[in-house]
Structure 1
Amino acid sequence: MPAQVGGRYPRRMAAPQTVPPVLTDGVVTLRGFAESDVAEIAAIYRDPEVRRRTTLGAHLGTADARAWTELVAANWATGDGFGWAIEAAGPDGRPRYAGQIDLRPGPPPSVGFLLAPWARGAGRMSRALRLAAGWGFTGAGFEVLHWACRAGHVASWRVAHACGFAFDGVRTRALPGPGGLVDAWTAVLLPDPAVPPASREPRTTWWPVPVLGGGRIRLRPPSGSDVDRHLATCNDPESRWWDGTRSHEADAADAHRWLLHDTELARSLGAAVTWVIADRDDDRYLGTITVSGMDRPYAPAGGEIGYRAHPDARGRGHVAAALRRVTRHAFTPVADGGLGRNRLALGTAAGNGASRRVAERAGFRQAAAFRADGVCGLDGGIVSDGVWYELLAADR
């Protein structure tokens, strides 16, 4: 949901026209703006989520909304930009303004969009993006279409992901934010005559995080309420000792980013799934467990396990129980709701007895030992030997 951009575009890529083409897939329609849309646009400007995710501030109102519609019309007339109102059936079944989408010729060509709160969560924006992208490639002659959002804006990435955009990386301090520049998630879509945008599928599996029961614990998705205890886990001296790759203590922003942004991005790229290990009775954070490495082409049905425990959860069997439950889920076929793995690996420092006991109690077998395989110590200054465990689906 990038912010709207005013002004002229530096390059024209389509013949000017005074009336935008009407595009529809039978569920959503892209059309020109009408005077009746102005109040609806102003309402979107006031939406807290839009204000949090874009540069559209609380000062914007009806006059700004009308100015935007006039700018879009002017850009169509000169070929400097291509914007549409999105129309869809409202809660009462009648067509109404649902949001807006605009293509920016660039270079490079890019897309931005906004959706009304009532219209979210039903795939309407993905439909609108497919329509606009198709016209961008065929009507405007785009060679590529770029998308970007503030890092962590999962809802916007879901739209681009569903339309077949390929994740292109994280750009450092690339977009304006509340207190200055912030990191951006970026993705691209290339034209493909054999597969038009309307038929594009996601390029990667966005793994779900099902809630898994396991005795005194339950495994669930991370949430904002876990940040404080996760931060305490990361900064605990024992955790830092065995994770010698971290040279400094984490802060709340680090914990929030990893729990709620990095883990979600990894899921969307088919790379990893992370659960919070929570107390069965009070849902208190006890630690985390992750299956990663699922996107490695040389190990198409493999995975690597990692886990950590909060200081007050150690020595109580919680992590071992979580590992057994996650292992069972990982070996369950995808058709049955699992991850469809056939081999899991687990690595730890040779001297980390607690981690090794967790692996062994869950049935993992030591497969290899390597000298000088990693580092540990609070400053990462101690080179340590490593041991690797494995478990195959056939072993169970």
Structure 2
Amino acid sequence: MRFPDDVPVLTDGTVTLRAHTTADIGPAYETCQDPEMQRWTTIPVPYLQEHAVAFLTEQVPARWADESSYAWAIEYDGRYAGTVDLRDRQGGVGEIGFAVSPWARGNGVMTRAVKLAVRYAFDSAGWHRVIWRAYVGNWGSRRVAWKAGFRSLVTMPEEGLQRGVRRDEWVASITRDDELEPQGHWWTIPVVEGNGVRLRPLEAKDAERVMAACNDERTQLWLAGMPSPYGLDDAHAFIEGRLGLAADGDGVSWAIADPETDDLLGNISAFDLRNRIDPTIAEIGYWAHPDARGRGVMSAAVGLAIKHAFTPLDDGGLGRRRLVLYAAAPNTASAHVAEVNGFTRTGLARAASPRRDGTYEDLISFDLLATEHPDYRKLLENVAD
């Protein structure tokens, strides 16, 4: 293909993919100074003006000429907003790569650009599968891929190579016959506040207090699956894992925070949201930092989580019909939290809760139906009126 004459212009009316020009050199150079751009891509660091010149005036045209890859400038709001490219791996299968300028993020620009490029791969280039890759932890790229319909995500240990260092990669793909639309839920984690507590997303700053809470003797006693001792790396892995829980559609996990100081007081999760037998249920689980005990913090937090779980999907909630909760029989504090929030004790599983010493405790099961929640009854009353 002759560059730029043969480069197809693709547009959805909001975002346009076009051939790069020398006018893009400055904006591309500035984009590549972004720390996030350098963190998640293989661009040279430090990134110099000469790198942008070589990429746009030599590498991009050469790759169009030999059809080893197709790279477009992304134009949005009349400005250069990044680059998206298709890399041919032959046999009708290739990879997509992309980067968006910081100023354009949060506007759906990259998702639109990816859909345009993928559609070109299928309709014009004759591909039957497009593969997406990103280093593990690049949640922005993963969300774009999810919104564009990529699926069957797997984690490949040490699959990626960045400046001589091997890194774990996420890999997903989409085929010609797949819809370019999200598959399943990527749950949002809203800030919910009331009754003296705030539920918010976990953040990296919480790691020290997560570590302290999870090394606590009572937490270690009742949650035998936790590492012991529980280190700072374990805390960071836990926080990162809660993002994965939401991205996979499996659950929503909050930090329970003090409304005034924002210090972490515990954690609460609604999980098992993709239950294959009954997708209308969720399990509630929680643990508390020692600072929060004896203050009614956990009871208040569970009440907020219940309300969000029963809120319909269309109103931003989880749309659950039934919640379940489990507590080891000797863990009277946990059972009290359940009962204060209206859960009904439904059964006892004998010797079902393991402990670290190899023994087992009986496990009490609880449940709560949406129809039993006060807000549900109020809603019915409003409809009747």
TM-score by length of 2: 0.89
The CA deviation string for residues 85-141 of structure 1, in whole angstroms up to 9 with x for no partner, is 11121xxxxx22110011112265211111111111111111100000001112222
Equivalenced residues, count: 368
The 5 A counterparts of 1:35-46 are 35-46=22-33
Matches within 5 A, 1:324-343: 324-343=303-322
The alpha-carbon distance between structure 1 residues 249 and 176, as it changes in their structure 2 partners (threshold 3 A), is farther
1:92 corresponding residue in structure 2: none
Structure 1 stretches lacking a partner, 5+ long: 1-15, 90-94
The CA distance in 2 between the partners of 1:234 and 1:17, in whole Å, is 61
From 37, 52, 66, the counterpart of 1:65: 52
1:163 shift after superposition: 0.9
- The CA deviation at 1:207 is 2.0
Alignment of 1:18-57 (within 5 A): 18=3, 19-57=6-44
- Name the counterpart of 1:186: 171
Query: What is the match of residue 323 of structure 2?
Result: 344
1:359 partnered with 2:346 = no
- Which has the higher relative contact order, 1 or 2, with Cα contacts under 8 A spaced 6 or more apart? 1
Greater Cα shift, 299-308 or 107-116:
107-116
- Which of 138, 147, 150 is residue 153 of structure 1 equivalent to? 138
Moved more, 383-392 or 129-138: 383-392
Partner SS for 1:184: strand
1:177-220 Cα distance to aligned partner (Å, 9 max, x none): 58943322222212127x4xxxx321122222222222221112
Report deviation, 1:372.
3.2
AA aligned opposite 1:106: R
Q: How many angstroms does 1:358 deviate by?
A: 1.4
Q: Give % identity.
A: 39
Contact 1:129 / 1:163 at 8 angstroms: preserved in 2? yes
Partner AA of 1:215 in structure 2: N
Q: How many Å separate the matches in 1 of 2:76 and 2:66?
A: 28
- Give distance in 2, aligned partners of 1:220 and 1:179: 37
Write out aligned runs for 1:239-258 (5 A): 239-258=219-238
1:393 match? 370
Take 1:179 and 1:368, find their aligned partners in 2: how far apart are those partners? 56
Distance in 1 separating the partners of 2:268 and 2:2: 55
Distance 1:293 1:344 in 2: 10
Instruction: Assess, with a 3 A threshold, how the Cα gap between structure 1 residues 353 and 174 changes in structure 2: closer, same or farther.
Output: farther
2-structure distance, mates of 1:143, 1:122: 29
Match of 1:144 in 2: 129
Match of 1:6 in 2: none
Q: What does residue 256 of structure 2 align with?
A: 277
Which AA in structure 2 matches 1:168? L
Residues 28 and 86 in structure 1, CA contact (< 8 A), matched pair in contact too: yes
5+ residue gaps, structure 2: 374-385
Q: 2:270 maps to what in 1?
A: 291
Cα deviation for residue 76 of structure 1 reads 1.5
**Alignment match of 1:211 (pick from 179, 187, 191):** 191
Please report the RMSD computed on the Cα atoms of aligned residues, expressed in angstroms.
2.0
In structure 1, what is the Cα distance between the partners aligned to 2:160 and 2:124? 28
Q: Specify the SS of the correspondent of 1:46.
A: coil
Aligned AA for 2:372? D
Q: What code does the residue aligned with 1:331 have?
A: F
Tell me the TM-score normalised to structure 1 length.
Answer: 0.87
SS in 2 for 1:109: strand
Aligned to 1:8: none
| Counterpart residue type for residue 220 of structure 1 | R
Determine the C-alpha separation between the residues in 2 that align with 1:210 and 1:307. Answer: 17
Larger mean CA deviation between 207-216 and 24-33 belongs to: 207-216
